[in-house]
Amino acid sequence: MSLENVVALARNENGIAAAVGILKQRFGERAQTGQAIREQHGHTTTYVPTQAPDIVIFAETAQEVQDVVRICAEHRVPVIAFGAGSSLEGQVNAPAGGVSLDLTRMNRVIAVHAEDLDCVVEPGITRRELNEYLRDTGLFFPIDPGANATLGGMASTRASGTNAVRYGTMRENVLALKAVMPDGRLIETSKRVKKTAAGYDLTRLLVGAEGTLGIITELTLKLQGIPQAISGGICPFPDVDSACRTVIETIQMGIPVARIELVNTLQMQALILHSKLPYEAQPYLFVEFHGTESGVAEQAELFGEIAAGNGGGNFQWTHDAEERDRLWRARHDAYLASFLLRPGCKGVSTDVCVPISRLADCIGETEKDLAETGLIAPIVGHVGDGNFHLLLLLDTDDVSEMERAEAFMDRLAKRAIAMEGTCTGEHGIGQGKMKYLAMELGEATDYMRAIKKALDPDNIMNPGKILIS
């Protein structure tokens, strides 16, 4: 995350004033202009300065989303979709003011097609709410980014999480969308089928677009059957390199691991403090297997053999749901646990992703960089697909420390790109990583700008994100 491009864009004061007046009349109490609620809808969970919208609208139907977008289009006013507000690169900020369109009241499950293993939902439902709704069907939606994000937000940022190695990312799990485009028209990107060869893939265009090309109002999602058996466990390693070798061999052997998560020594220290885990502070792999009882037992045994061959310690695994949940709850609490390493600090989260063959090198160089820079940042990784995250624990009032953090994050992004990776595996570009997109993709960004210009010529859809103007 870089703050270099987090700047205010030119405001259309007359257009904003006109649109705010119309929206207040149209939506009544569901149009809010109080300072606290506006700042809440511009605030992000990272150290990107808050840039509040001028008004917050709580939409309840796709027609209302169309109405808002048409008013904004007429007056050339920015409109920014808002869900849980858990994005990490300033995606919901309003650098040119305008309208925050809160979609959390659009939270219905429209249909579940159990035989087809899919469902249709509105964008404001969260992943936990969906899985609670699905509980009695024997199905679940697998994408788990950690935060209880809305499905619309997860699609917009192309989110993934701990089990992407088995089930993929949002890109692979969204079958179709309905979205309101910049001119106010509602489109359907595909039908409810597992595959199609009909026309351009507008679904994939909107998944990951961060609301810059349109606003999602409905999602058709793939579902999975709840596994008959689940086993999980934890294995210590002498160093990150041996853990990464184990990951590579596990993937190469075709073991269908459902989750394989790395925590480095510093992160494990935080988990021990927070969750009272009875382990030593050293690198660990947290793993989980899904399937039949005999299948998951075989997978766990094979993994244990691979780990032992790479210097891994005692691999403790279990079918017991309570023990398994305790381990994964500790892993999910890594963010909160990290603050015990430096009480009173603030956290800045960032992520990169590299080919798994380069993962050990990238993490090793990053840990060395942190040590030389004097920064504290525990590391966790969805290492089955080469993705890892850092939480920098910072004194944001210390100018020198913030400068060192900025320089470190710049080196991290460039390091990942140099290793044929990406500056962001999950968090998205938003405001914080715009300058790295051209470094990573070169002239392809010219065609991205052409798409943006063609679909949104007045730049009203979440301006100041992804692409540097």
106-136, pLDDT tens digit by residue?
A: 999 999 999 999 999 999 999 999 999 999 9
The Cα–Cα gap between 275 and 273 comes to 6
Q: Give the pLDDT score at 46.
A: 61
What's the Rg (C-alpha) of the chain? 22
Give the Cα-Cα-Cα angle 176, 180, 181 (nearest 5 degrees): 105
Burial of 365 (C-beta count, 10 Å sphere; 0-12/13-18/19+): middle
Q: What is the pLDDT of residue 415?
A: 99
The secondary element (H helix, E strand) that includes residue 71 is helix 62-75
User: Contact 452/389 with Cβ under 8 angstroms?
Assistant: no
Whole-number pLDDT of residue 161: 86
What is the structure's pLDDT at 3?
45
Say how far apart CA 68 and CA 184 lie, in whole Å.
Answer: 8
Backbone φ and ψ of 408, nearest 5°: -65, -45
- Residue spans of the domains in the chain: they are 109-225, 228-430
| HSE-CB of 434 using CA atoms within 13 angstroms | 21
CB 182 within 8 A of CB 211: no
d(CA 303, CA 289) in angstroms, rounded, equals 10
DSSP 261: E
- 51-71 tens-digit pLDDT: 999 999 999 999 999 999 999
Are 82 and 39 in contact by the 8 Å Cβ rule? The answer is no
Instruction: Give the pLDDT score at 47.
Output: 64
Residue 219: what pLDDT? 99
Instruction: Mention the CATH class of domain 228-430.
Output: alpha beta
Label the pairing between strands 215-222 and 174-180: antiparallel
Amino acid (one-letter) located at 119:
C
How many C-beta atoms surround the C-beta of residue 406 within 10 A? 16
Q: Are 432 and 193 in contact (CB under 8 A)?
A: no
Residues with pLDDT less than 70, the chain: 1-8, 44-47
Q: Determine the pLDDT at residue 7.
A: 52
Which CATH entry fits the domain spanning 109-225: 3.30.160.100, 3.10.110.10, 3.30.465.10, 3.40.50.720? 3.30.465.10
CA angle 245/158/167 to nearest 5° reads 50
Give the span between the Cα atoms of 161 and 167, in whole angstroms: 10
Phi first, then psi: give them for residue 71, nearest 5 degrees.
-65, -45
